[in-house]
């Protein structure tokens, strides 16, 4: 086989991940978050939508794209395929007219899970692809078998070679078919969905993911000429078209970022206003916030919400599950909040088998948490956190440690901040605006 293609790029939206490895966040105890901040575009929506540019014969113009490390990496990956990318603040223009490579580099793919999403679009439009097994946060086994199985059902021939997923389409085009996922998978739904837009005939995805990020991807694809119905439900149907054309789209707000700052507000007994969001951004998570003690007031005319703490934090058992239930990406920040509640609570993680890596770090800060299994933890309320030197073990765990540091006596240090930079835009600037004494050391 042809060895992978490696291309150096001198222009990038953000510095490389390795430049952040030795940076640290220094955080003093906060007397409460107060003020207002803007919620940026959704990372989990932006990544697949950026990848969907592969499908378009023309320019995909995107607005409200978050300035994140994961976005930097996916854009670099697309550039390696010879997609022309122009960036102006939060706007991107991507032109895939002259794609000349169908191989993703191992280096970039190892940095983010979303790298596997190029597989379906490349096979659908060009009939060939070579994609490394993806990386990202170390959350346990996240197999790509659902991605491979669905694309194979559509006629692709796929095999593994030297750590790469290699695929080709023997016929002229992928063939539409009925695809039933054994478990709900956001990534596999996105891959199959994008591939089906250019497949010949009708595709039905059964037990599809319902996340708002899936719906946003479908909105974007429809603007480019795709024929899709059923997004937001468990059955999505796609009638394949011969090609997609140029389109413009604005990325939805990041519901995980909004929820993270809402939890931090409760933890610090503060009051903040989040801009650029509507009630549906929170979805059913709004109910959990209110049960825990938050007061939410939405201002529809301003697309903003005020979040106020009611002083007492209530302990609540939660179980992560696919949308619209409790999001796995909020489990770690929520665990910090439950540490501050009176009594005890059970947190059950059903999506990933290794998403309690933040527990030892929180224990260094005084948390009383017993991990009962890979999927269940018992949280006892404590009177306070204490400052410590801790490490962000993954993206959401990093923000959980920030929340703990905000309420800990003394000054805390959080290392491995590149995880946080993957999913939270300008966390230092936003927290500073909310009255927090926070600095980053060792960053470029």
Provide the pLDDT confidence category of residue 443 given band limits of 50, 70 and 90. Answer: low
Catalytic residues: 137
Whole-angstrom Cα distance, residue 181 to residue 210?
13
Checking if the pLDDT of 10 tops 50, the result is: no
Whole-angstrom Cα distance, residue 337 to residue 340?
5
| pLDDT > 70: percent of the chain | 92
- Burial profile 138-164: b = 16 or more Cβ within 10 angstroms, e = fewer: ebeebebebbbbbbebbbbebeeeeeb
Average pLDDT, the chain: 91
Q: What tens digit of pLDDT does each residue of 153-170 get?
A: 999 999 988 888 999 999
Which contacts qualify for 280-283: CB closer than 8 Å, 24 or more apart?
280/212, 281/39, 281/212, 281/252, 281/253, 281/255, 282/255, 282/258, 283/212, 283/255, 283/323, 283/324
- Answer for the pair 220, 94: CB distance below 8 angstroms, yes or no: no
161's CB contacts (< 8 A; 6+ apart) are: 1
- Answer for the pair 209, 323: CB distance below 8 angstroms, yes or no: yes
Whole-angstrom Cα distance, residue 60 to residue 341?
47
Burial (CB count within 10 angstroms: exposed 0-12, middle 13-18, buried 19+), residue 9: exposed
Cα angle 97, 100, 103 (rounded to 5 degrees) comes to: 125
Whole-angstrom Cα distance, residue 333 to residue 24?
19
- Burial profile 343-368: b = 16 or more Cβ within 10 angstroms, e = fewer: eebebbbbbbebbbbbbebbebbbbe
Q: What tens digit of pLDDT does each residue of 184-238 get?
A: 999 999 999 999 999 999 999 999 999 999 999 999 999 999 999 999 999 999 9
Work out the number of other CB atoms within 10 angstroms of the CB of residue 170. Answer: 8
Q: Could you check whether the bond before residue 324 is cis, i.e. omega within 30 degrees of 0?
A: yes
* Section 136-163 average pLDDT: 79
Checking if the pLDDT of 42 tops 90, the result is: yes
Return the structure tokens found at 340.
């501050």
Secondary structure of residue 184 in the 3-state scheme: coil
Distances (CA, A) of 114 to 43, 71, 92, 146: 10, 10, 18, 14
Return the structure tokens found at 329.
């990406």
In degrees and rounded to multiples of 5, residue 196 shows phi and psi of -70, -25
| pLDDT > 90: percent of the chain | 80
- Which domains can be identified in the chain, with CATH numbers? 17-40+253-441 (3.65.10.10), 43-250 (3.65.10.10)
Cα 200 from chain centre: 31
Return the structure tokens found at 121.
């679009």
The reported pLDDT for the residue numbered 252 is 97
Secondary structure of residue 155 in the 3-state scheme: coil
Checking if the pLDDT of 17 tops 70, the result is: no
* Section 126-149 average pLDDT: 73
The reported pLDDT for the residue numbered 253 is 97
Checking if the pLDDT of 291 tops 50, the result is: yes
Checking if the pLDDT of 113 tops 90, the result is: no
Of 101 and 108, the structure prediction assigns the larger pLDDT to 101
Return the structure tokens found at 163.
């750590």
Which range, of 12-26, 204-218, 244-258, 358-372, averages the lowest pLDDT? 12-26
From the list 150, 194, 149, the residue with the least C-alpha distance to 47 is: 194
Provide the pLDDT confidence category of residue 12 given band limits of 50, 70 and 90. Answer: very low
Work out the number of other CB atoms within 10 angstroms of the CB of residue 274. Answer: 24
The predicted model scores a pTM of 0.92
């Amino acid at each position: 086989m042809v060895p992978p293609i490696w291309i150096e790029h001198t222009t990038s939206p953000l510095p490389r991940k390795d430049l952040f490895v030795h940076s640290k966040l220094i955080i003093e105890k906060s007397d409460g978050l107060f003020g207002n901040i803007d919620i940026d575009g959704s990372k989990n929506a932006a990544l697949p939508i950026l990848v969907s540019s592969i499908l378009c014969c023309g320019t995909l113009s995107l607005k409200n794209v978050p300035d994140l490390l994961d976005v930097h990496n996916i854009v670099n990956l697309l550039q390696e395929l010879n997609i022309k990318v122009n960036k102006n603040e939060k706007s991107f223009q991507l032109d895939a007219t002259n794609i000349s490579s169908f191989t993703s580099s191992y280096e970039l793919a190892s940095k983010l899970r979303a790298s596997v999403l190029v597989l379906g679009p490349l096979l659908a439009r060009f009939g060939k692809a070579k994609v490394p097994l993806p990386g990202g946060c170390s959350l346990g086994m996240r197999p790509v078998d659902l991605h491979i199985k669905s694309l194979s059902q559509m006629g692709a021939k796929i095999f593994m070679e030297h750590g790469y997923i290699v695929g080709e389409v023997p016929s002229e085009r992928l063939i539409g078919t009925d695809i039933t996922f054994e478990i709900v998978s956001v990534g596999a739904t996105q891959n199959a969905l994008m591939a089906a837009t250019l497949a010949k005939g009708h595709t039905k995805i059964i037990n599809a993911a319902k996340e708002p990020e899936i719906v946003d991807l479908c909105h974007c694809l429809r603007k480019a000429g795709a024929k899709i119905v059923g997004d937001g439900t468990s059955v999505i149907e796609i009638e394949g078209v011969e090609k997609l054309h140029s389109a413009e789209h604005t990325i939805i707000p990041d519901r995980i970022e909004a929820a993270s700052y809402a939890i931090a507000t409760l933890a610090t007994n503060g009051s903040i206003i989040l801009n650029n969001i509507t009630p549906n951004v929170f979805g059913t998570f709004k109910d959990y916030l209110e049960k825990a003690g938050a007061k939410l007031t939405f201002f529809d005319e301003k697309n903003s919400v005020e979040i106020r703490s009611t002083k007492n934090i209530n302990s609540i058992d939660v179980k992560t599950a696919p949308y619209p239930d409790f999001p796995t990406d909020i489990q770690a920040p929520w665990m910090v909040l439950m540490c501050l509640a009176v009594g005890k609570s059970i947190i059950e993680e059903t999506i990933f088998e290794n998403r309690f890596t933040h527990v030892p770090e929180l224990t260094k800060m005084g948390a009383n948490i017993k991990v009962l299994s890979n999927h269940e933890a018992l949280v006892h309320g404590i009177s306070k956190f204490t400052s410590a030197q801790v490490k962000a073990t993954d993206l959401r765990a990093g923000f959980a440690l920030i929340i703990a540091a905000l309420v800990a006596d003394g000054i805390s240090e959080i290392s491995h901040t590149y995880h946080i930079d993957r999913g939270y835009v300008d966390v230092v600037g936003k927290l500073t605006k909310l009255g927090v004494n926070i600095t980053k050391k060792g960053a470029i």
